[in-house]
Structure 1
Amino acid sequence: MRVQLIPLIVTLLFVSGTQADELDDIIKAEMTTRHIPGLSLAIIENGRIIRAQGYGFTEKGGKMPVTTSTLFQAGSVSKPVAALGALHLVEQGKLALDDDVNTRLLTWKVPDSAQSAEQKVTLRRLLSHSAGLTVHGFPGYPKNAPLPGVVQVLNGEKPANTAPIRVDIVPGSKVRYSGGGYTVMQLLVADVSAQAFPDYMRDAVLKPLGMNDSSYLQPPPAERARMNASGHLADRSMVVGRWHLYPEMAAAGLWTNASDLARFAIGVQQSLAGTSNPVISAALTEQMLTPQEENVGLGVFLDGSGTAQRFSHGGRDEGFDTLLTAFGRAGQGAVIMINANDNSRMMSRLTAAIGRAYHWPEADHDVLLKPSAIQIDAKALMRYTGRYELSNNTMGTFDAQNGQLRSMFDGLPDETFVPVGAHRFQSTSRNCTLTFVVDARGEVTQVIVTTKEQIKPAPRIVPLMRTLKAGRDPNPARTWSVQVLLSKIARGGSALATSDFATAGFKTNIGAQAIGELAKIKSLTLLHEQDVAGREIERHGSKVDTVLAFRAGGMKPARKLLIYLTADGLFTDFDLVDD
């Protein structure tokens, strides 16, 4: 479905019409290509919001336009804002960055473990994802589902839908992203401030920074909910009930818009410069923007140095994606919020376009090269299409359209690549080259992805699923074994553990969880068998030797299924795909 997109409520100060028009064209084109219902944008220049704009609509097919006041869920961009609230208590002397948090927690304690016997969970480690705590992220709760309290979340007790948050690696030993750690911080802040977390954040951070449209309240009160956009999933279907609820407020519960998040970024910039310190001092802001472990500061991720150092964070809730990026000392930055889960590179392309338009510090190294395209016939172009593993367990698909290659994500077109040489293609939207590797039989086995940052090989998994047709199944007993195992995975519990068809790594990583979607599969029709031995594809600790492609009968809408087998013929992973 194509969505008519119109720009709304434009604020343009000190920005040329050419810049505005070019960015509008880029944003509208990206939204149309990726079927994004709505987008909220704010651009920072010289420490001020110089452009705030809404695009599209609050829901797919709707009539209510996105404005600068429309509210989106910030997802994990809730974390840096919440981190500022915790640092405010440090500034007041009510918390210390390096004290054991159990000395200040009142209503719950981090359970003791062998890993935390000597090294303790501290606020510094919570904020820098190095506290050794479990639970990466949270799926949220449908609006009609029972909502757990924060202690129930921490203990993994019903109605919580995630595992207990526990220390399982030595605190301070490594960075491991943990939404669970921020949930511990949420309770710590509430205990020490003697306020409900949303009330404390309103008083300590949101109001002082002028983030008057923002709130951590879960669920949002009715008067605020009227301003909320509706979330959309990767297939662009709307989230049931329009959005999920997140009692894990510090990790994922902030309702806000791009302008308010830009005010947060400006607050950090001004605090660092010492020109305004309503929340924390310049000295503490300096610590916030100093790498603690690897590239992680206190609540933010860091890149570059000096005036080119930027602090960033991305976020995803059910149906919403967010990206905040800003330069601590250059007074520049941008915030993009969309009411969809989008797995493409759209956000990074938009920030790159903003960086070029506003001459961000690294823009000198990001001059967009215009490729000199050559002609290639359609049959030759098709050999490069297919499904590739861009990184471990991260798939990318290339399709052929109008003499060009298009990357596909979630069944939608993404990036355009034009042919520039033998087996070589260049992106039209960033400086990225694809070089395809062809074996002695003329079959493409991998693609080398070259950017400014890295050169990375990506093995080819299978051809395009739509090009595959059913034929004779050479091993129907194997297909039956696959179907039986999928039914066990669908049921969950101990069924998978008893299988002698699955690898030990797959059994361990999937565990007893039930993947109910697989129960919809009533039959399997073999479409393709691909030998991938030597392509260094690994799933759940086992190297993949063979990939089987099936049509999954009984699923609506229709789905395809990829099964990954080891050299011993053991099942080590699966993917449900739409391309």
Structure 2
Amino acid sequence: MSPKLLGLPVLGILLGSLGCNGQPPSPPSIAPGDYASIIRYLKQHIPREMAEHQVPGFSIALVEGQELIWARGFGLADKNRGLQVTENTAFRAGALSQLLTATAVMQLVEQGRLQLDSPLQATLKEFYVRSRFHDDQNAADQAVTLRRLLSHQAGMPAEYLRDLRTPHILGELPQKVSGVWLNNQPGTRTAYSNLGYALLGAAIERSSGVDFEQQLQTRLLRPLGMSQSSFLGDSSHLPYRTRGYEDGAVSVNAPVRDVPAGGLWTSPRDLSRFVRMLFAQGRYQHRQLLSADSVNEMVRVQNTGNVMDFDCQVGLGWFLSPCGDEWVRPGIRTWQHSGSGNNFHAQISVLPEQQLAVIVMSNSGTGEALAQPLVPQILRMLLQAHGEPGEQGAQVNQPARQLAARRRVPEAADRQQLAGFYATAYGVLRIRDQGQRLFGEVGGIRFELLRDEHGWLRAQKKLLGFWLQDLGDLGRVQLDVVSVQGHRVFTAKSHGQLLAVGERIDPVPLPDNWLATVGTYTALNDDEANTPMSGVDIALEDGFLMIRSLQQGRTLTDYILAPVDNAHAVIAGHGPGLGDTVRRQINGVNVLGYSFKRTYNSNHLRF
């Protein structure tokens, strides 16, 4: 889906839902063929949800087979100019860009210019990786294939921070990032990587002989009639593009380097044409843009056998299960993807067997909270209109008090086994056995962990020690720690799907040279605007070396730093931002191309 699905573990979704007021009102029952009732309901429901979630602009498209059932814009594209969102207004698509990039790769595979199972280095000869998982350099480079990049299984870092906000350097990127360390062994687990898709874009340029935008326009966007779609520019370039908003204020048009991963501007109406092409097995208006075999390969599960992926299935570009989101109906086949960033949100969900699709886009990060329950709700209505009987998705949650009455404090041996530090993409999850009770804390949220009647862990919090506090989905999902291939994995079961949240990390003896890195560091890359991090802190806590990222003096999150040798350490755990290599330098450290110089030193610094 997006960084939040598989790439960003379900814990981030759950933390983002704290204080939610449960399920939205149920939509009406729909008779077969009654699309008018769906549209009528959405015309009333969407503006109410936009107001509740403070979303200035929103756009939607509904598809059945080769028909665009409905496309409509709501609200404002530009509040200062009073510009309304129409069905043709373009939004930032974020990670939905990867669906188009993956399709462009498959087109070049069909032409024999790229090979799906060949290493990236066969096309980008200057690119190489460093690896702790291979005995020799050639084996490491051979493991980074196009197929694994397309399915986020190549072991690449999620991002390469240096020049992240510098546009128009796609052709230079392979050389700039050459020598990057792999985060995990390729082909063993799915870990979301925007950098991987950016390199695929560079491979498209190299193999086609033209720049990325020209290749996409010539071979895909224009043939599909996607006239509002482009990977170039920002909202100030064209009048039909919306501005992004944060807390009601217009946000900065941040430049994007990795355009193949997240630079697309498009509309739901334009994307409906792309979906209809896939429904027609690669054909659009009497032109075969992609072979049926390529379409089928893109939506074939690619991560079978990756035990750490649990119940999340991925294809080439597409996610093929909800990966912790709500099922439209249990077990029904889906293709989906979503993307958030730069104060935009976009989501596409497809039911391929019924040839139904919903595409939504909004110009605020809060649009995600609107879209998550809305999209499966709409798909269930479309299924009824398609002639399938109505059926509810998620069951209505029982009241918190009723659930809490069945919970118990874990036994002493259970608490002792569970207590520890767990590495997650949202920072360190600390589970502590305190006062004969078990508590968890992550991202500044502290909660108690109890066992329910089925043996699952449940998160619970009481206000002033008496009144149950609504923890949203975090209080409803089933949690536990399981052993998988020698790893102690903190898991969450959401909507019947088991997902990895974090991994237990045990303290190990720390070398003196890494102990000496304790201190505060400031970024040296002053020549670059909009740097993702202004500094880092390295400190000791309970036998762990911890690293915290800083942005203008504000702490972003904390991770466990695990030394590998005298010069290198890794961010412990698996997931985006986890497994990254930190390199010691003279009076400083380097992380993904950013160098940091020590500004404060204390061998006794503690968190």
TM-score (norm 2): 0.59
Aligned residues: 420
Report Cα offsets for 1:463-502 as digits up to 9, x if no partner: xxxxxxxxxxxxxxxxxxxxxxx994788899733x4568
Tell me, yes or no, if structure 1 residue 230 matches structure 2 residue 243: yes
Could you tell me whether the CA contact under 8 Å between 2:173 and 2:202 is conserved in 1? no
2:272 aligned residue: 262
Structure 1 counterpart of 2:186, one-letter code: P
Q: Which of 454, 459, 476 lines up with 1:449 in the alignment?
A: 476
* Distance in 2 of aligned mates of 1:183 and 1:123: 12
How has the CA–CA distance of structure 1 residues 36 and 42 changed in structure 2, closer, same or farther, with 3 Å as cutoff?
same
1:356 is the counterpart of 2:376: no
* Residue 132 (1) aligns with residue 155 (2): yes
CA distance in 2, matches of 1:259, 1:331: 16
3-state SS of the aligned residue for 2:51?
Answer: helix
Once the two structures are TM-superposed, the CA of residue 38 in structure 1 deviates from its matched residue by 0.1
For residues 363 and 182 of structure 1, what CA distance do their matches in structure 2 show? 40
Paired residues of 1:135 and 1:165 also in contact (CA < 8 A): no
Distance in 1, matches of 2:392 and 2:366, equals 24
User: 2:298 corresponds to which letter in structure 1?
Assistant: M
Question: Greater RCO between the two (CA within 8 Å, min separation 6)?
Answer: 2
Secondary structure, aligned partner of 1:42? strand
Change (3 A) 1:374 1:540: closer
1:331 and 2:355 correspond: yes
> 1:224-303 maps to which residues of 2 (within 5 A)?
225-233=238-246, 235-240=247-252, 243-271=253-281, 278-294=288-304, 295-303=313-321
Deviates more, 1:60-69 or 1:146-155: 146-155
Tell me the CA shift for residue 152 of structure 1. Answer: 4.8
Structure 1 residue 64 corresponds to structure 2 residue 77: no
Contact 2:90 2:265 in 1 (8 A): yes
Match of 1:340 among 348, 351, 364: 364
After superposition, the Cα gap between the structure-2 partners of 1:442 and 1:250, relative to the gap in structure 1 and judged at 3 Å, is same
Distance in 2, Cα, partners of 1:374 & 1:132: 40
SS at match of 1:303: coil
Residues 401-451 of structure 1: CA deviation (Å, up to 9, x unaligned): xxxxxxxxxxxxxxxxxxxxxxx9xxxxxxxxx996779974659874056
Matched, 1:149 2:149: no
Identity rate, percent: 23
Supply the distance in 2 between the matched residues of 1:129 and 1:229 (Cα, whole angstroms): 30
TM-score (norm 1): 0.62
Secondary structure of 2:147's counterpart equals helix
Quick one: distance in 1 between partners of 2:189 and 2:498? Answer: 26
Shift of 1:238: 1.7
1:502–1:202 CA distance, 2 compared to 1 (3 A): farther
Check whether the contact 2:59–2:87 (CA below 8 A) recurs between aligned residues: yes
Corresponding residue of 1:173? 188
Q: Is the 8 A contact 1:315 1:321 kept in 2?
A: yes
Query: Which residue of the other structure, out of 6, 22, 34, is the alignment partner of 2:53?
Result: 34
AA matched with 1:496: D
Structure 1: gaps (5+ residues): 1-13, 158-162, 377-388, 396-423, 425-433, 459-485, 520-538, 542-568, 573-579
* Uncovered stretches (5+) of structure 2, i.e. residues with no partner: 1-32, 305-312, 323-328, 403-421, 429-451, 453-457, 478-493, 502-517, 524-532, 556-570, 574-603
Once the two structures are superposed, what CA deviation does each residue of 1:203-226 show, in whole Å capped at 9, x if it has no partner? 11112222121111246794xx22
1:37-436 equivalences in 2 (<5 Å): 37-60=56-79, 62-105=81-124, 108-111=126-129, 113=131, 115=134, 117-118=138-139, 119-136=142-159, 147=167, 149-154=169-174, 165-218=180-233, 222=237, 225-233=238-246, 235-240=247-252, 243-271=253-281, 278-294=288-304, 295-303=313-321, 308-342=332-366, 345-359=369-383, 364-366=390-392, 393=426
Q: 1:138 to 1:57 in 2, by over 3 A?
A: farther
User: Match of 2:143, SS?
Assistant: coil
Matched residue SS, 1:169: coil
Name the aligned partner's letter for residue 49 of structure 1: L
Q: Quick one: which amino acid aligns to residue 279 of structure 1?
A: L
Q: 1:298: how far off? A: 0.7
d(CA) in 2 for partners of 1:210, 1:34 = 33
Return the offset for 1:283: 1.2
Native 8 Å contact 1:41 1:334 kept in 2 = yes
Native 8 Å contact 1:489 1:514 kept in 2: no
Per-residue deviation, 1:150: 2.0
Residues 270, 455 of structure 1: alpha-carbon distance in 2 compared, 3 angstrom cutoff: closer
Contact 1:73–1:256, Cα closer than 8 Å, also in 2: yes
CA distance in 2, matches of 1:171, 1:373: 44
